[in-house]
Structure 1
Amino acid sequence: MKDDLKLLVVGSGGREHAIAKKLLASSHVSQVYCAPGNPGMTVDGIIPVAISELDFLALKGFCYEEKIAWTFVGPENALVAGIVDSFEADGLKIFGPAKTAAQLEGSKDFAMRFMNKYAVPTAKFATFSDSASAIEGLAEFSEPVVIKADGLAAGKGVVIAQTKDQAREEIALMFKKGQKRLVLSEFLSGAEYSLFVAVGRKDYRILPMAQDHKRAFDFDKGLNTGGMGAYSPLPQLPETDYQRMLHEVVEPTIAGLRQEKFDYCGILYIGLIMTEQGPKVIEYNVRLGDPETQVVLPRITSDFAQLIDCALNGDALPAIEVTAKACLGVVVAAAGYPGEYLKGQALPGLQATDEIKVDYANVSEKVERFVGNGGRLLCVLALEDDLQLAQAKVYSYLAQHEFVDCYYRHDIGAKATGKFAGVTGKLENLS
């Protein structure tokens, strides 16, 4: 691997902040740009570039002009739109799956058919292109029924209908809003986990696992969001279950990628649920998760940039070294998210310390202060000897600051620690 590499990360959120920060930590990397990035990234020496993640022509021009060694793609919309195909057509190195493989996230129907073809355990499903046939198809499913928009929905395109009547209403509403296809699937019960695989052209490596918290409010109440917090590792996951995930899910998935000749060089996220019958896949994503990335990457002690460099050059991937320490992150979101949210709220000055880090997402800068500019605004993180200590540090830090027109969950990590952080920030027993 060469030295003094200049790299580009595509995207603007907390995930991209975490990726860029990790790449910049490599002794081989001299500079990391992020397009379009956000002002909060500058705190860590990352340079935002005012180019949209979907403006492939301008992004490629920037790579030529700045002599970028390679590009790491953060968000799914750019991957599904074909950014990798566009870059590779012009001889530019880029980490991420090509457009065909990106359908594993871009189309729920495509992903479910792939799983069935390669014997990857998943839920029973059916796909429909109109309201009448979808409502008729409900007869094949028990309550509750999972209804998924077929295309990208930023983590918010899933409805769990508790009754058939509710399902009929949701189906009619989704088609009325312009949805072209819906996927109905059986509801799977069990603990959910996030598993990440770095896939090279020759081999692959498993990254640390994490657990995300999708619902907006404490105790998994409220609407689905892009993610309100995460933690890693997962002490509640038995080693036998983890090995089953690798053998029954990861291995056939990788075999399917190879057999389909996807030439997959990127990250594959596997959303898993541990059912009574064993591990089953809820969904694939073709990139790192947000906010899981923010808690997974700090636990990697080996050179992450070198791993990506080897994957892009077709070399054998080095082993991933991981600390035994635990990382926990809590997302601060704008009031109203994931619905209509408020913007422009002044955020408190959050100074990173040796114990606390902040990854910024939807923020802008106004008179030397960061203000809210979207749904999820930032993620506060701690890396400590165990999860309970990391949880205590994060919530203690959050309680010391006043967040106006914002909110965050108080139970991130509770499923592992048994502790719940009350609104005062004091740790109390989970009840």
Structure 2
Amino acid sequence: MGEQVNVLVVGEGGREFAIARKLQASPRVKQVYCAPGNVGMTTIGVQPVDIAETDFAGLIRFAKEHQVAWTFVGPEDCLVDGIVDDFQAAGLQAFGPTARAAQLEGSKDYALSFMDNYEVPTAQHASYRDQTSAIANVDQFGFPVVIKENGLAGGKGVVIAPDRITAVRTIKEMFDQGQSRLVLEECLQGPEYSMFVLLSDDQYRILPMAQDHKRALDGDRGPNTGGMGAYSPLPQLDPTDRQAMIDTVVVPTVHGLVAGNYHYHGILYVGLILTADGPKVIEYNVRLGDPETQVILPRLATDLFDLVDAALNDQPLPAVKVKDTACLGVVLASKGYPNNPLHGQSLGQLPQKTGISINYANVSGDMSDLHGAGGRLLMVLAQDSSLKDAHDRVYEYLAHLDEPECFYRHDIGDKAGLN
């Protein structure tokens, strides 16, 4: 097995909580540090480190001082800003794509050009640098039309405009708010799925799949968010359709990454819609998704440390083994999220319950007197033999929580036929 080592996770939210928890459980890991982390991570033996995720020099210094074997980067903005390049320049290993490869998430236009170049199926699309040309061409996509900010938007820079009036207003607003480029796309129809691919150049492994719930309110209503809940596995996804996603999307994507000399060592998220014409890509992300990470990692039987360590050192990747269990999680969000979230509300001391895990995200204070720090505060999770049992455990727990300044969705898992 070799001697135990220290690892560092960069980030502070629920995704990083789940990554740190999984790494801390590895017999090959001595200590997981998380920068900046959050106070809730102390409940799982992970040590928060008071260094901002944007302080690359400080993170590098810490990694050297604490003999960190390698660093797992959670947030997309760090990757786009070149944290992996900086770590490599300092002689350190960091799991995630370089800044060039991170443009697959950092620029919608860049990602769509990549898909066109390597024949990865996606929506009809075009990008525009000014509102006049965007408005002049909006009709060609039909309605509803998808309007996307070109850059990073924390999962919230997408508007599905049902008609021309809404589309024109949205285009004007986005350009007026400082966008230099917008992407217009046809609105694909079909169920959405999240596929996560762990990459080491031309090697890849498919992690357990999940389905996210992006809209703030029940019934997929309300504004887009970073995600209000997720579940895994997906009983409604036919194995033939899953294989088609690998054959028609993952394989040409990996081919493109190798052909383009991206030297990709990290996670690639592929957001998919299963259309009547087969699977098509909605978007790439260059890291694990939040909240999906929180429901897929508990189901991963293969040691996450072993997978990442092999990828970083260009060793053969272990096979991905998945537990025969189901996991479902529901986000507790601050009232007003995502547009105007309340900050500072008292959460008190959350009750412990057998069979329930809590992944902390935007919280402050101490564990006996927690406070919300805005946005998505935490996720309540259960892992069980069936999705229905996991679903019922989570919602029973939430029903007994008295948090009037927070809210959550009541229909996570509905698309799997649970209600």
Do they fold alike, i.e. is TM over 0.5?
yes
The equivalent residue for 1:233 is 233
Partner of 1:423: none
Q: Any idea what SS the aligned residue of 2:333 has?
A: strand
Aligned letter for 1:373? A
Aligned to 1:266: 266
Residue 349 of structure 1 and its aligned partner are, at CA, apart by 2.4
Is the CA contact (8 Å cut-off) linking 2:356 and 2:382 kept in structure 1? yes
Q: Does the 8 A contact of 1:361 with 1:376 survive in 2?
A: yes
Q: Which residue of 2 aligns with 1:69?
A: 69
Residues 108-161 of structure 1, C-alpha deviations (whole Å, 9 max, x = no match): 000011011111100011101111111112132101110000000000000000
**2:382 maps to amino acid:** A
Partner of 1:427: none
Residues 1:352 and 1:98: Cα distance change in structure 2 (over 3 Å): farther
Q: Which moved more, 1:337-346 or 1:225-234?
A: 337-346
Q: How does 1:9-28 map to 2 (within 5 A)?
A: 9-28=9-28
**Map of 2:375 onto structure 1:** 375
* Per-residue deviation, residues 280-318 of structure 1 (Å, max 9, x unmatched): 000000000000000000001121111100111110000
Alignment match, 1:95: 95
Partner secondary structure for residue 328 of structure 1: strand
Match of 2:201 in 1: 201
Question: Which residue is equivalent to 2:190?
Answer: 190
Deviation of 1:354 after TM superposition, in Å, equals: 4.1
Confirm or deny: 8 A CA contact 2:348 2:368 kept in the other structure: no
Match of 1:357 in 2: 357
TM-score with structure 1 setting the length? 0.96
CA distance in 2, matches of 1:46, 1:111: 35
Distance 1:14 1:125 in 2: 33
Q: Which range moved further: 47-56 or 196-205? A: 196-205
The letter of the residue matching 1:241 is: D
Q: Quick check: 1:202–1:316 contact (8 Å CA) kept in 2? A: no
Q: Could you tell me which runs of 5 or more consecutive residues in structure 1 were left unpaired when the two chains were aligned.
A: 420-431
| 1:69 counterpart letter in structure 2 | A
Q: Is the 8 A contact 2:349 2:368 kept in 1?
A: no
Superposition deviation, residue 220 in structure 1: 0.2
Q: Distance in 2 between matches of 1:328 and 1:348?
A: 24
Q: 2:401 is matched with which residue?
A: 401
Q: 2-side partners of 1:298 and 1:80: how far apart?
A: 27
Kindly provide the amino acid, as one letter, of the partner of residue 323 in structure 1.
K
Equivalent in the alignment of 1:246: 246
Question: Following TM superposition, by how much is the alpha carbon of 1:350 offset from its aligned partner in structure 2, in angstroms?
Answer: 2.5
Does residue 179 of structure 2 align to residue 179 of structure 1? yes
- Code of the aligned partner of 2:236: Q
Q: Helix, strand or coil: the match of 1:319?
A: coil
User: 1:198 is paired with a residue of what secondary structure?
Assistant: strand
Q: Distance in 1 between matches of 2:18 and 2:351?
A: 16
8 Å Cα contact 1:362-1:378 kept in structure 2: yes
2:8 is the alignment partner of 1:39: no
- Equivalent residue for 2:60? 60
The equivalent of 1:334 in structure 2 is 334
Q: Partner letter of residue 25 of structure 1?
A: A
Provide the residue aligned with 1:158 in structure 2: 158
Corresponding residue for 1:145? 145
SS at match of 1:22: helix
Q: Secondary structure at the match of 1:88?
A: helix
Contact 1:199 1:265 in 2 (8 A): yes
Residue 6 of structure 1: CA displacement?
0.4
Q: State the secondary structure of the residue aligned to 1:69.
A: strand
**Where does the alignment leave 5 or more consecutive residues of structure 2 unmatched?**
none
Q: 1:349 to 1:367 in 2, by over 3 A?
A: closer
Q: Tell me the CA shift for residue 404 of structure 1.
A: 2.5
- For the residue of structure 2 that corresponds to 1:347, the secondary structure is strand
What is the distance in 1 between the residues matched to 2:124 and 2:202? 32
Alpha-carbon distance in 1 for matches of 2:262, 2:353: 43
Q: Residue 43 and residue 366 in structure 1: after superposition, are their counterparts in 2 closer, same or farther (change >3 A)?
A: closer
2:315 paired residue number: 315
State the partner residue of 2:108: 108
Which string of whole-angstrom CA distances, capped at 9 and with x for unpartnered residues, describes residues 44-95 of structure 1?
Answer: 1111111111110000000011111100000000000000000001110100
Q: Secondary structure of 1:415's partner?
A: helix
Matches within 5 A, 1:273-352: 273-352=273-352
1:353 CA drift (Å): 4.2
Distance 2:192 2:269 in 1: 13
Distance 2:367 2:208 in 1: 39
Q: Which runs of 4+ in 1 moved over 6 A?
A: none
Contact 2:202/2:258 (8 A) holds in 1? no
Q: 2 CA distance for matches of 1:309 and 1:418?
A: 37
The corresponding residue for 2:78 is 78
Q: Distance in 2 between matches of 1:9 and 1:367?
A: 21
Contact 1:5-1:68 at 8 Å conserved across structures: yes
Q: Deviations over 1:314-358 (max 9, x none)?
A: 100001110111000000000000101101111142244441100
Deviation at 1:4, TM superposition (A): 1.6
CA–CA distance in structure 1, aligned partners of residues 150 and 8 of structure 2: 30
Contact 2:9/2:71 (<8 A) preserved: yes
Does the 8 Å CA contact 1:115/1:122 hold for their aligned counterparts?
yes
Shift of 1:169: 0.3
The alpha carbon displacement at 1:201 in A equals: 3.0
Q: Distance in 1 between matches of 2:263 and 2:31?
A: 28
- Name the structure 2 match of 1:424: none
Alignment length, in residue pairs? 419
TM-superposed CA distance for 1:210, in Å, is 0.1
> 1:189, 1:377 → 2: CA distance?
31
The answer as to whether partners of 1:93 and 1:312 remain within 8 angstroms in 2 is: yes
Q: Distance in 2 between matches of 1:313 and 1:2?
A: 15
Of all paired residues, the percent bearing the same amino acid is: 58
Q: How far apart, CA to CA, are the structure 2 residues paired with 1:87 and 1:377?
A: 30
